[in-house]
Amino acid sequence: MSDTEHAYDHTTVERRWQDRWDDEGVYRTPDDAEDPTYVLGMYPYPSGKLHMGHVRNYTITDAYARFRRMCGDDVLHPMGWDAFGLPAENAAKERDTNPHDWTMDCIDTMREQMRSMGFGYDWEREITTCTPDYYRWNQWLFTRFHEEGLVERRDADVNWCSSCETVLADEQVEGDAELCWRCDTPVEQRELDQWFLAITEYADELLDSIDELEGWPDSVRQMQRNWIGRQEGTRLPFEVQDPDGDDHGTVEAFTTRADTAYGATFFALAPGHEITQAVAERDDDVAHFVEEEADPDGEEPNGVATDLTATNPVTGEELPVYVADFVLSDVGTGALMGVPGHDERDHEFASALGLDIRPVVAPDEDEIPDVSESAYTDDGVVVNSGDYSGLDSETAREQITADTAGAETTTQYRLRDWGISRQRYWGTPIPVVHCDDCGPVMVPDEALPVELPEFINTTGNPLDAAEEWKRATCPDCGDEATRETDTMDTFVDSSWYFLRYVSPELSDAPFDRERSNEWLPVDQYVGGDEHAVMHLLYSRFFTKVLADAEGLAHREPFENLLAQGMVQLDGAKMSKSVGNTVSPQRIVEEYGADTARLFIMEAAQPARDFDWSEQGVRSTRAFLDRLHEQVSALTEGSYDGKRGTTAEYVDSEIDAAVAIAADEYDDLRFNVAVREAQNLSRTLAGYVEYVDAPHAETVERGLNAVVSLLAPVAPHLAEELWTTLGHDEFVAEAAWPAGGDAETATARRDLVENTREDVRDIVDVAGIEDPERIDVTVTPDWKYEALGIAIESDAPNVISELMSEPSIREQGDAAASYGQTLQENREALTRPLDPETEYETLRRAAWLIEREFDAAVRVQTADADDAGHAEPGRPAIDITE
């Protein structure tokens, strides 16, 4: 695309200002800044190229950061790299390089792309998680967690991706088909020694304090609640015996419906339960079922009878024990009491196997439900339950739990401890050595960081192949020992990176405590909602642990969270595999970064999805070109008019735009804020075109405002025009322009717009072909006074109160009639602009009506008796043909 069809060369302009900002350190945040506004976009994984999602994400934070800076705040707006992770290993293998070099190359490329977008970061605070300077603190924090008793090593069934050759967190397994989140390979189960962080210790606080996260979207809060999945219930102990009377011990079963204990007609074990395993060894049917038939994903619940019995601890009844595939090892205790009368799934199972189905809960005492066809699952009144009959479900649960030996109320969570072990190279080495005598031992702080060895290209875990690196001595006994070869989940890195920005160079602690206490929490966090659970939950967890263990004064990391919407193409998510992407680089080359940024921001509110539109981009660019021309026209110096009433109108519109845009920016409604700037530009153009000799100062003030209002979103052109307008400083560092208050501004606009619409209505309805003169008469003072009295008054009838006011009484019939109107609308009265402001507003806006109807417009006060039916907020209009 040639630049000749544009009013300015974006490449030159954008480079120029990027260089100047760098030279002057405009976006630096000094360490002594006082409680800066902390604006943060989720740091990217350095895949090599920015995509539109990144552009949108970082344009949002950049615009907000710039706006806050113009409002006079100190701002902290840093950027960094989520630089560990599997793709780097894969890429390194493909390209015959190593993860480190590949990652660093990607970072260089992306940093340059960010620079070309004009994002104003404090690059002095840049962090890169794959550098020892960063990941040593992961190790240090791991040790602190260990000291707090929050690290556990245990044998665990883990999700294993055979393609990635690594363990996956539950959150990284997707869908019913259980596919790896990265490569879509079906996930297998394996048993391995794993390192866990005890996030469940904080489950209650993580759940309860969600309520206070008022700056977060409801959807994210709800997802976290679901994920934690707290459930109150009862643990009941069932004695399990085989036919010979041999005891298999007590099996605990968790239930939320202890009130249905009398309805239990069977007991069921998971195929993976240890008793099941024991029985399978001597019982071929059970073995066959476990091996061949059990299908936890199947629609139908399947099961097989055993020769065991379980004693219902509430009733003493002997229940048959089944092995059933709908019982899951990792839910509850892997065993349950079956109550087919009051649980859908148990009902289905009992029906299939011909087991008893008993109603023990009823809607009310005289109405025993028919449970032969389907379960009655609501709470109600307990029946057929011995001494408990007649109690409501809630009370029965409490009573049964209290009366039953060995029963206790417990809380169960869906949330599991966080397995952080990964059998991969490109991550933080877990700082542990294994000693034959002492077992696993923490690497002491002074020996940190445990640095990664050279990359070895192998199919398994490269750390396992690094023989020399693996050799270590035990910190406790000094004997030979072996290094732990697991690395940490990269979500560990991102769980505290927002703290590192505060003091990125600090060498004796991960973060400066005092400064963090002042600078945190992040005031505005922005990112995609694919991180709604994992990253955001882990970050909250880390913050709470650091508050308890390291004196951090905050228990929540992110005060306000914005989950930005997707940039789509034809209604579909942009995706490399589908091939429907738009390259930010191409857009920047063709139209410039300002155009890309402005288009994205005006297209929709930041939380919404929207469609990319090349035509929208073009018209955005056209707007910037017109603005450039507007400024050039002003500086050519041919505007030599006086400040007439039209200019006064323009002035009030400038105030209005500034005030409204400020409110909208503050609430992150960039699309509305930007529209104010564009409308103001339009108003200025209309003014220049309408009057013979525009008033240069007014136009200048207006263009200054337009440029200021656009500066957060289109910063390069804004700087360029700001200079053209004669300013020496950066617009990035300029103060937000002074304006009026948004409420009055809106009231004035409404008055003008309503009046113009009324004129149109009249002309249209009355069929006036060619209006010659239009008289607009503002309300008489006494009506305004009367309205004020009526609003204040709490008398049942205001008319007498109005008539006690001489200035109103002397209006005679008119006063009585208006008083009547007021009385009828008593409850709905609102205070309008005062008559003087109204008069002034309309006088200034008269040119709009003149222009539209090509008629003389006369705005007058109502001191004459021709006020007609003018009312406050509603001038009388008289049109002469």
Residue 725, Cα to own-chain centre: how many angstroms? 39
What angle, rounded to 10 degrees, do the helices at 584-591 and 593-603 form?
110
Q: What angle do helix axes 10-24 and 99-117 make, rounded to 10 degrees? A: 110
Nearer to RNA, 424 or 597 (CB): 597
Least gap, CB of 53 to RNA (angstroms): 16
Nearer to RNA, 270 or 362 (CB): 270
241 versus 256: smaller Cβ distance to RNA: 256
- Least separation in angstroms between residue 301's CB and RNA is 5
Q: Where are the beta strands (DSSP E) in 534-595?
A: 558-563, 567-569, 572-573
The CB-of-864 to RNA minimum distance in angstroms stands at 15
C-alpha distances out from residue 87 to 128, 368, 488, 528, Å: 16, 61, 15, 20
Distance from C-alpha of 571 to C-alpha of 60, rounded to nearest angstrom: 21
Q: Minimum distance from CB of 17 to RNA (Å)? A: 26
Residue 791 near residue 785 (C-beta atoms within 8 A): no
Residue among 587 and 833 whose Cβ is closer to RNA: 833
Closest CA to 629 of 729, 697, 699, 564: 699
- State in angstroms the smallest separation of the CB of 702 from RNA: 15
Rounded to whole angstroms, how far apart are CA atoms 386 and 316? 12
Q: CB of residue 836 vs RNA: minimum separation in angstroms?
A: 15
Contact 538, 489 (CB under 8 A): no
Least distance CB 411 / RNA (angstroms): 12
> Residue 524 pairs with which residues in a beta bridge?
39, 560
Closer residue to RNA (CB): 296 or 475:
296
Element (H, E) at 463: helix 462-465
Least distance to RNA from the beta carbon of 615, Å? 7
Least Cβ distance, residue 852 to RNA (angstroms): 5
Q: How far is the C-alpha of 559 from the C-alpha of 555, rounded, in Å?
A: 10
Return the closest-CA partner of residue 113 out of 498, 583, 479, 439. Answer: 583
Beta carbons within 8 Å of 31's beta carbon, 6+ residues apart: 503, 515
Shortest distance (Å) from residue 649 CB to RNA? 13
Element holding 394 (H helix, E strand):
helix 393-403
Least Å from the CB of residue 390 to RNA: 23
Name the residue nearer to RNA (CB basis): 189 or 880.
880
* Sequence letter at residue 34: E
Closer to RNA by Cβ: residue 302 or 306? 302
Could you tell me the smallest distance in angstroms from the CB atom of residue 869 to RNA? 5
Residue with Cβ nearer RNA (513 or 597):
597
- CB of residue 747 vs RNA: minimum separation in angstroms? 8
Whichever of 401 and 755 has its CB closer to RNA, that residue is: 755
Identify which of residues 328 and 506 has a Cβ nearer to RNA in the complex: 328
Strand segments (E) across 508-557: 522-527
The amino acid present at 848, given as its one-letter code, is: L
Structure letter (DSSP) for residue 215:
B
The sign of the dihedral angle between the CA atoms of 378, 382, 388, 391 is positive
- Cα distance between residue 427 and residue 89, in whole Å: 10
Distance separating alpha carbons of residues 77 and 65, to the nearest angstrom: 7
Q: How far is the CB of 492 from RNA (least distance, A)?
A: 21
Beta strands 151-161; 166-168: pairing state: antiparallel
Cα–Cα distance measured from residue 442 to residue 451, given in angstroms and rounded to the nearest whole number: 15
> At its nearest, how many Å lie between RNA and the CB of residue 731?
23
Closer residue to RNA in complex, CB, 341/875: 875
Q: Considering beta carbons, is residue 466 or 563 the nearer one to RNA?
A: 563
Looking at the Cβ atoms of 152 and 878, the one nearer to RNA is: 878
Residue 494 is encoded by which pair of tokens? 């991102």
Which C-beta is closer to RNA: that of 21 or that of 254? 254
555/756 with CB nearer RNA: 756
Nearest Cα residue to 67 out of 677, 501, 479: 677
Closer Cβ to RNA, 131 or 395, answer by number: 395
Contact between 487 and 425 (Cβ < 8 Å): yes
Neighbour-count burial of 481, counting CB atoms closer than 10 A to its CB (0-12 exposed, 13-18 middle, 19+ buried): buried
Task: Quote the least distance from Cβ 414 to RNA, whole Å.
Answer: 5
Start-to-end Cα distance in the chain: 53
Structure tokens at 95: 């390209």
Whose tokens are 């405590």? That residue is 513
* 449 prior amide bond cis, ω within 30: yes
Q: What is the closest distance, in whole angstroms, from the C-beta atom of residue 182 to RNA in the complex?
A: 16
Q: Which is nearer to RNA, 33 or 768 (CB)?
A: 768
Q: Which two tokens mark 878?
A: 């008289």
The greatest distance separating any two alpha carbons of the chain, rounded to the nearest whole angstrom, comes to 112
CA count, 13 A, side-chain hemisphere, 612: 22
Phi and psi angles of residue 329, each rounded to the nearest 5 degrees, phi first: -60, -35
Nearest to 319 by CA among 327, 309, 308, 307: 309
